[in-house]
Structure formats: C-alpha cells, structure tokens
A and B are shown apart, each in its own frame.
Chain A
C-alpha cells in the first residue's frame, strides 16, 4: 500500500492505519522491541516479524521518536534498537536477519520507506538506543553492510539461495537480492555530444539519473583521456529519471581535439560516462544563419550572420533577385543510358558567380557537371560524370544568378528604404585564413499595397438601364474598396459680392462652373470687414446661387468670394470590387474610380467614364431620290450612335455596321444611305 499511496496517490483509508496501530501496539514486545506473529510471540524468530512491524509503521507514518497512543516509548525506536543490536548476528534464518532474505528485504524496505509526521526520510544509519552500541551503515558498510553481504552471497551462476526456511526459493531470493542492491545505485551517467562548439569554446553535455539519491554531475576534460581538468558540479536532484546537464567551457586552445566525460556522484559512489571528443572550429562555422525578413515598403531591413572560428573573418553578401535576373536553362544529351553532355538553351543573366548544376530525374543516377560563366551568362556546361541507367532525358537544373553586393562586407547587411527591387534572397560568404562557409538563403519579402490588375473600364448605358464597373487587384488580402464619382467636365464657379454700407448683402454668380457633384464650401475672404458668410446651392452640377447667412460689417473695400472647386464624392455603400448603378439617369453620367486598400497601403484606379444616352427615338426613313434613303431619329446631343443594317431578318441575322455618328447639338441624328443595291434592307440604331 505504501507505493500505491506514494507513487499513484491512492489514499490508504484512515481506518486502515488507525486499526493497524492498534495491532502494532498489541504485537510489539516492549522489553525486546521485536514484533510478534499473531501476538507478541515471533514464532519463527523475530527477523521476519520485526521488519514487518517497521514497515507497517512506515505505512502509518509513525517513525523515529513517535510514541504511539498508550505507549511510553517510540515503537520504531524500540524495533530499530533490536535490529541494530542484533544486526551482525550469525546463524540461520531464525537467528540472523542477514541469513533470512525475506526479513532482510522487508528491513531494507522499512529503512528506505521510513516516515514520520514530517514525511518520508530514508534511514542510512541504523541506530540503537542501547548505550555503547554504535550506529551502523546498514547498507554500505564495507564489511557488514547489506550490499557486501549480498554480493558475497551470490552464486557464480548468478542466483541467490539458502537464506530462508525453504532453500529452494532461488528466484525469490534472487529477486529480493536484486531489489535490495538496486536501491542505492550510483547515478546512471551518460556523456552526450558537445554543442555550440566554437573556435575556442564549447558546451559539454550529459545526463544523470540520480536513482533516488541526491546526485551531482560534473565533467572531466582535457586534451587526452587523462583529462586533467574538471568543471564545477551541478545539482541533479534526487529523482529517478535522467536529468540533462551541461557546462560551458571557454578559453580553449584552437585546433585541439578535446576529450571529456560526464561524472555523476551520489551517496553510493561515482559513475563515469563514456569518453567523448570534440574538435574546435578554425574555419568559419555559422552559428546563427541569416533569417528571412518581411517588411513594408520604404522600411529598413537587416540580415545578420553569427559565425565561429578563428578570427579575423571577411564577409561578402550576395543577392539573388529573380525579378530582374533570369536563370539559365540547359538540355541534357543522352546516349545508351549515359548523359554525355548538356546544351545551354538559355544563358540567363546576372550571373556573377558560377552556379551549381544538378542532373535530376531520368531514371538513372550519377551524372554531374559544372557550368562556365561568361559576361553574366552561363556559357557552357561540362559533364564530369555521365552517370548510367538513364531511360529518359533528365532535367538540368542550374541555380539562379547571385549578385555580389558591392561594399556589403560586414556581418550585418543593412538595406535602407527597401523597394520592390530588393525582393529576393540574400546570403553571405564568410572566410578566414582556414576556409570559408556560405550561409543559407534568407528571403526578403515585402508586404505591399494592392496592385490593380484590371482597372474599371468605360461603360455606356441607355437611360434607365444598369451600369457596372469592376476592378481586380493583387497583393496581400484583405482588401477594402471605396468607389468614387467625379464629373468628367470641371470648372470653378465664380461669384462677386454686393457690398452696401460695409455689409455683404449678396453674391452674384458670374459663372456657375461645371462638375459640381456636391455643394462646395463658400468663403468670404479679404476686404476690410469681417464676419460675412454664406452657402452655395448646386443645380445641374453648377453653382446656381450663393445665399448669404451673415452680411458681416466694415467692408469698406469689398471682399473676394471663394467657391471651392468641384471634387470627387465617395459613393456610400459602394465598397466592393464591383460598382453597380441601377436605372441610370443623366445624373450618373460621370467618371468613376475606386481606391483599394490593404493593411500595407492603398492604390487608386484610373477613372472610367459612364456615358448615359437616350435610346434613338422616332427612327424613320424616307426616300430622297432613287437609290438614296435618309434615316433619322433623335437622341442625346453629341452622343455617338451606331447604325447597323441587314438584308434579311431571318435568323441568324447578320447585322453589319454602317457607321457611327454623333447626334447634333439638338440631339438630331441623320444619315443618308446611298448604297441601296439590294432588294430589301433593314436598319437599326443604338448607343
């Protein structure tokens, strides 16, 4: 029940413990301290029953110094004294606890599971209350301890036997012996690979399983397996699972191979992990690669690389911009399963370094080659290995061009006010006297405003019809749309003040302007007075009147009336990619544009014009003379109408354009057809 309660949190009911204490009081001999079997009589000797009593006390949480109800001495102390006083007895199972493994196993458990009101407290030293009897290291005493006794008792065949009342219990004794020996194992210590190895420093790693005993870990290290150095120790706790620990070594000698091993220690002794080595880096080795960056237009960006190795280092950053550089292409040449050549089909551009070449696919393997670069282009590919087993042409992959960034020779690459041209991949080559290393690619991506892919298009709609504009964009979503309307013809309104006795009494419109979709602001400025104000009235997109709301005073010299110019107006609720106008009128005839925004900016489309026209009315024709026919109708002044004709109305009708002509200033449209060489002819006109 003790492990159930302590390991799986299964509560032993209080009535079990309380009742058990009654039994323990009853069964312990207060004179000898031992416990009995079914009363105070131990029957088969006290070395089975007394440890069992201690173990029950451990379950009940009644350990050293605890006096049970109705007793005058500590039950635990009495029993422990008995066992301590007789620990080194000799003889058979009835006389010696070390000759009776079932009792010894229970005793071991009781020592390890000992608990009082303060909780579990394993006992290392077996104590006696008898004057003159020394405490005993019951497990680890090199001569009389349990460990020594068990090791000596083991048969050459691995088992234990003969330490009970039935000598045939080989497996039972063996299992008990193993678990008694197990309880104080040295910490399981493992050396693991060094990390963060630099040119003069490294981190040593290891794990230690304390095996339930408070343990520490340190590392021995040196240039040989004699080590000669030790790190400070680290506390590993007293758990039962491996604990990873590490120590950082600095100021090491470059170019030396170092040996190290982890050392674990607990009360049972030392344990060494296996010898492991690491080599310090002389050539550059990248610790932190440059990282991908994502930002908005015009911001500043940095790429950084961190290397180890023997200084000094030289850096050169490179840029691969696929926006304005093109990769090269080539085609493999195959014969009898071998790739004997590769023909460059496209030399690409922007090659400042020789790119890597890879032969991929085709069912075979082993083919390889290298490129030659000339004038920024891949000029040729030379095969170094024809490979074998190719059943189809493999692809020849040539790395894209990489541009050297002149002057970018530090560990940090700084880009200021980035533009679209900076989008691409960046990498750095780091060199020192012992070699060089190339970093991985780091991508710069920009979070851009939307780009208009398809702007709204001009549209014509008959009066009363529907009109629609549409825009399509690209770039990071989501998008926010707002459609605007602006008049196609715009001019400013002009007004002059009427001043009498220093008061601005009226404003006369001298020009109503054009294109006013909204009422403009009116300001009375200048002059010698102050306080005059008024507002405009708009009719037919013109300023038709200005009403003074305050005549002001003191205008001995007249002011100037400023009328704001016509402006675009936003269309309420028109916030989608498509603008739909229903039952259009002349009031809808205007220019339209849309502003599209995302989280990173906005873009304004080009304007698109909506023309609203009257359908042809009074479409008539009359003969002028032989082979001449005049057609006429009325429509929107100046609006171009299309005339079509056909000779047969039986489907499919083949309408042919005749001409497109605008109506005159009065809306009259007329055309005389002189091409009347067919028996019949039909016409239609439209906007």
Chain B
C-alpha cells in the first residue's frame, strides 16, 4: 500500500502529464475539418452548374463551431467575400449570383478560422456557368433542395449513437405527420443523388444519410402475420413459422404507406447486406442494440415471404440466421 506522500507524488506526476497532454491536444484540435458539398459525389471535382445571374447557395460544413470560429466564403469572382461566426457547423452557407460566359468556372473558397489561434483550413467549391435550360434549372433546384434537407435534419445522440430526423423546424417547416416515412423519403432523396451511407467522408451529406439510416432502423417493430384469406384462397405469409413480421412503429400513421418509403430508402442504399448499427429498438420482441436491414437479399429466386418473416425473428441472432437461411446465404 502506498503512503499518502507517495500518492501525492503520483498525483502530481499525473497532473503534470495531463497538463502537457492538454497543451498538445488544444493545439491539435484547432485545425478545423472543412467540407464542401459536391454536386456529383462520384466526381467530387465536378462543378455545381448555374446560369448567369441565378442566385445560388454555396454550401459547406466544419467540425468546429462557436464564438472563436469564423467562416469566410470567397466567391472567386472578385466580388466581396461573405463571413460570419460558425454558429451551426453543419450549415456554412452564402448565397451569390455569378455572371459570365458559358463555360466559365469559378472557384469559390470556404475558409474556417480559429480567431483565437489563427489556425484555419479551407476547401474549394467550383461553380460553372452553363446555358439556362430547364434541365439546368432542375439541377439547381435539386442542389438547393438537398441542401435544405441537410440543413433541416434534426441531429441528436442517444445511447452513444447519433441519429437524425426531420421532426424539428430548423430552417423552415418540418414533418407534421408520418414523420418516420418523411425521414425515409428524405434519405431516399440523398441516395438517389449518389450520397450514400458508404460514401466518402469528404461528403458532408454522408453523415446526414448515416444518421437518417440509423433512425430508420430504430423505428421498426414486430407485428403478427396470421394466415391471409381472400376469395382466391388462403395464404400463409409466415415463412419461418414464428408468426412475426416487421412494420414501421408509428401507431395510427399508416404503416403500409410508411413501409413502402422505408423499403424504397433501404433499396436505394445499394448495399443490401449491410448491417446498420442503431441504438435500442423500440419494441421488437427482444430488443437489442442492433437492428438490421437484410429484409431483402439479392438472390436468384428468393422466397420473399420467408425473408420477410425471417426478419421478424424474436432475437437479433434468430433474425439474422433465419434471413441467411431464407436467402441461401452463409452464416456469419
């Protein structure tokens, strides 16, 4: 056993170490991570298109925010820069109209600076002048619309996991009803434009998608799937015999209407065998720390009913094994 003097010495040493680490950590953390929104995630250097005189939004994020953090958007066309304190690290935007000949490419630069230390980081976002066509206007509308969805995602943490949905009014409007389905279709909108859960960490929308995907899988619950009777006969949709299926868990809010959007969003992920890690599920028969999205598996002739029913197994392990069996996949 150490005497009090020894303990005192040890404490002093630890404090000394902590002080040293603290200095290093402060210096290292001061460099911000700046990201800009790509128009085409598969070709991140591809410019955002606009037409001469159109007011568009320059879109970026940082991993730092607060009173000592300042952003500057240099529009790259010689006009005055825009700057402000980083109040929302997920939303660093400035609107601007570019003018010029078709084909002209402007390089706008977002710089985020720690005004206390002077450390900064920047990223370039390219904007190209194109002829004003309906198609271009549609592209701009999509570009601005996705930014709105990104801005208005309500981000929170629960059980150590990060989530996102659209239940709060942040930048105009929110999901008034069928809020789970709204998250699903919003997620689908990102995915349809190439912003995937498995995308590059340089893409600010990837985190938005990952949060939404986790939310989706925390909103599923089990339902019983009895025999189905109709004038054409009686059918048993229960492939594994456990009597359970999965549906969206928002009572009174059209689970079938919402479930379709869930399926669309899951399929649009393009990664059918991925396991999405979430927090506690809401009311699965045996709640676990993880849920999954292997409802539908790519296989030559899957038994969809069996797959769906397998996904409703009582425990995570039972579900996974049942799905793997139904889809002819090896156990993991």
Interface residues of A, Cβ cutoff 8 Å to B: 1, 3-4, 7-13, 15, 18-19, 22, 140, 142, 145, 147-148, 150-151, 154-161, 166, 168-172, 174-179, 181-182, 184-186, 188, 190, 207, 209, 225, 242, 268-269, 272, 274-275
A225-B103 in contact given A15-B232, A142-B134 (Cβ < 8 Å) = yes
The 3 closest A-B pairs by CB, nearest first: A170-B173, A158-B148, A168-B176
Residue of A nearest to B40 (CB): A188
A158-B176 in contact given A4-B296, A10-B296, A181-B138 (Cβ < 8 Å) = no
Contact between B42 and A18, CB atoms less than 8 A apart: no
Contacts of B156 in A (CB 8 A): none
Residue of B nearest to A189 (CB): B46
Contact between A171 and B135, CB atoms less than 8 A apart: no
Residue of A nearest to B59 (CB): A158
Contacts of B138 in A (CB 8 A): 147, 150-151, 181, 185
Residue of A nearest to B43 (CB): A190
- Can you list 14 residue pairs at the A/B interface with Cβ under 8 Å? A3-B267, A10-B302, A18-B232, A142-B134, A157-B172, A158-B57, A171-B152, A172-B175, A172-B178, A172-B185, A174-B148, A174-B149, A185-B135, A185-B139
Contact between A179 and B189, CB atoms less than 8 A apart: yes
Contact between B174 and A168, CB atoms less than 8 A apart: yes
Contact between B264 and A188, CB atoms less than 8 A apart: no
Contact between A170 and B103, CB atoms less than 8 A apart: no
* Most A Cβ at <10 Å: residue of B105, B173, B232: B173
Complex alpha-carbon distance, A524 and B46, angstroms: 96
Contact between A274 and B105, CB atoms less than 8 A apart: yes
Contact between B152 and A181, CB atoms less than 8 A apart: no
Contact between A10 and B297, CB atoms less than 8 A apart: yes
Complex alpha-carbon distance, A3 and B135, angstroms: 25
Contacts of B181 in A (CB 8 A): 172
Contact residues, B278-332 vs A (CB, 8 A): 296-305, 307
Complex alpha-carbon distance, A9 and B327, angstroms: 11
Q: How large is the interface on B (under 10, 10 to 19, 20 to 34, 35 or more residues)?
A: 35 or more
Q: How far is the CB of A188 from chain B (nearest CB, A)?
A: 5
Contact between B42 and A275, CB atoms less than 8 A apart: no
Residue of B nearest to A241 (CB): B42
Residue of B nearest to A140 (CB): B134
Residue of A nearest to B305 (CB): A13
A8-B141 in contact given A190-B43, A269-B135 (Cβ < 8 Å) = no
- With beta carbons under 8 angstroms apart, the residue of B142, B147, B172, B232 that contacts A170 is B172
Q: Is B252 an interface position by the 8 A CB rule? A: no
Contacts of A181 in B (CB 8 A): 138-139, 141-142, 145
Complex alpha-carbon distance, A111 and B152, angstroms: 30
A159-B145 in contact given A10-B304, A170-B172, A190-B43 (Cβ < 8 Å) = yes
Contact residues, B11-27 vs A (CB, 8 A): none
Contacts of B268 in A (CB 8 A): 3
Complex alpha-carbon distance, A423 and B137, angstroms: 68
Q: How far is the CB of A78 from chain B (nearest CB, A)?
A: 23
Contact residues, B106-144 vs A (CB, 8 A): 128, 130, 133-139, 141-142, 144
Contacts of B133 in A (CB 8 A): 269
Contact between B301 and A11, CB atoms less than 8 A apart: yes
Q: Can you add 20 more A-B contacts, CB < 8 Å, to A18-B232, A151-B141, A169-B173?
A: A9-B302, A10-B299, A10-B304, A19-B230, A148-B134, A155-B172, A159-B172, A170-B148, A170-B152, A171-B174, A174-B186, A175-B185, A178-B142, A178-B192, A181-B138, A182-B142, A182-B192, A185-B135, A188-B46, A207-B43
Contact between B173 and A171, CB atoms less than 8 A apart: yes
The contact string, 1 if C-beta is below 8 Å from chain A, for chain B 44-78, is: 00110000000101000000000000000000000
A11-B304 in contact given A182-B192, A225-B103 (Cβ < 8 Å) = yes
Contact between A22 and B189, CB atoms less than 8 A apart: no
A22-B304 in contact given A170-B172, A171-B182, A172-B175 (Cβ < 8 Å) = no
Contacts of B298 in A (CB 8 A): 8-10
The contact string, 1 if C-beta is below 8 Å from chain A, for chain B 88-112, is: 0000000000000001010000000
Contacts of A15 in B (CB 8 A): 232-233, 235
Contact residues, B136-189 vs A (CB, 8 A): 136-139, 141-142, 144-149, 151-152, 166, 171-178, 181-182, 185-186, 188-189
Contacts of A172 in B (CB 8 A): 175, 178, 181-182, 185-186
Contacts of B250 in A (CB 8 A): none
Q: How far is the CB of B164 from chain A (nearest CB, A)?
A: 11
Interface residues of B, Cβ cutoff 8 Å to A: 40, 42-43, 46-47, 55, 57, 103, 105, 128, 130, 133-139, 141-142, 144-149, 151-152, 166, 171-178, 181-182, 185-186, 188-189, 192-193, 230-233, 235, 260, 263-264, 267-268, 272, 296-305, 307
Contact between B235 and A179, CB atoms less than 8 A apart: no
Contact between A159 and B148, CB atoms less than 8 A apart: yes
Contacts of A178 in B (CB 8 A): 141-142, 145-146, 149, 189, 192-193
Complex alpha-carbon distance, A134 and B137, angstroms: 26
Contact between A171 and B263, CB atoms less than 8 A apart: no
Contacts of B176 in A (CB 8 A): 166, 168-169
Contacts of B175 in A (CB 8 A): 169, 171-172
Contacts of A13 in B (CB 8 A): 235, 304-305
Contacts of B145 in A (CB 8 A): 154, 158-160, 174, 177-178, 181
Contact between B134 and A147, CB atoms less than 8 A apart: yes
Contacts of B130 in A (CB 8 A): 272
Complex alpha-carbon distance, A318 and B297, angstroms: 62
Complex alpha-carbon distance, A186 and B140, angstroms: 12
Q: How far is the CB of A5 from chain B (nearest CB, A)?
A: 8
* Most B Cβ at <10 Å: residue of A151, A185, A188: A151
Contacts of B146 in A (CB 8 A): 178
Residue of B nearest to A186 (CB): B135
Contact between B47 and A274, CB atoms less than 8 A apart: yes
Complex alpha-carbon distance, A178 and B302, angstroms: 32
Q: How far is the CB of A562 from chain B (nearest CB, A)?
A: 79
Q: How far is the CB of A398 from chain B (nearest CB, A)?
A: 44
Contact between A158 and B300, CB atoms less than 8 A apart: no
- With beta carbons under 8 angstroms apart, the residue of A168, A175, A242 that contacts B186 is A175
Contact between A22 and B231, CB atoms less than 8 A apart: yes
Q: How far is the CB of B61 from chain A (nearest CB, A)?
A: 16
Contacts of B172 in A (CB 8 A): 155, 157, 159, 161, 170
Contacts of A8 in B (CB 8 A): 267, 272, 296-298
- With beta carbons under 8 angstroms apart, the residue of A11, A151, A171, A225 that contacts B149 is A171
A182-B193 in contact given A7-B267, A8-B298, A15-B235 (Cβ < 8 Å) = yes
Residue of A nearest to B235 (CB): A15
Complex alpha-carbon distance, A188 and B45, angstroms: 12
Residue of A nearest to B130 (CB): A272
Q: How far is the CB of B98 from chain A (nearest CB, A)?
A: 16
Complex alpha-carbon distance, A10 and B272, angstroms: 11
A170-B141 in contact given A8-B297, A15-B235 (Cβ < 8 Å) = no
Residue of B nearest to A164 (CB): B176
Contacts of A274 in B (CB 8 A): 46-47, 105, 128
Complex alpha-carbon distance, A230 and B189, angstroms: 36
Contacts of B148 in A (CB 8 A): 157-159, 170, 174
Q: How far is the CB of A15 from chain B (nearest CB, A)?
A: 5
Q: How far is the CB of A153 from chain B (nearest CB, A)?
A: 9
Complex alpha-carbon distance, A160 and B42, angstroms: 26
Contacts of A242 in B (CB 8 A): 42-43
Complex alpha-carbon distance, A566 and B267, angstroms: 88
Complex alpha-carbon distance, A459 and B178, angstroms: 100
Contacts of A170 in B (CB 8 A): 148, 152, 172-174
Complex alpha-carbon distance, A22 and B230, angstroms: 10
Residue of A nearest to B166 (CB): A171
Residue of A nearest to B101 (CB): A225
Q: How far is the CB of A669 from chain B (nearest CB, A)?
A: 85
Contacts of B57 in A (CB 8 A): 158
Complex alpha-carbon distance, A389 and B40, angstroms: 48
Complex alpha-carbon distance, A157 and B299, angstroms: 43
Contact between B141 and A19, CB atoms less than 8 A apart: no
Residue of A nearest to B308 (CB): A10
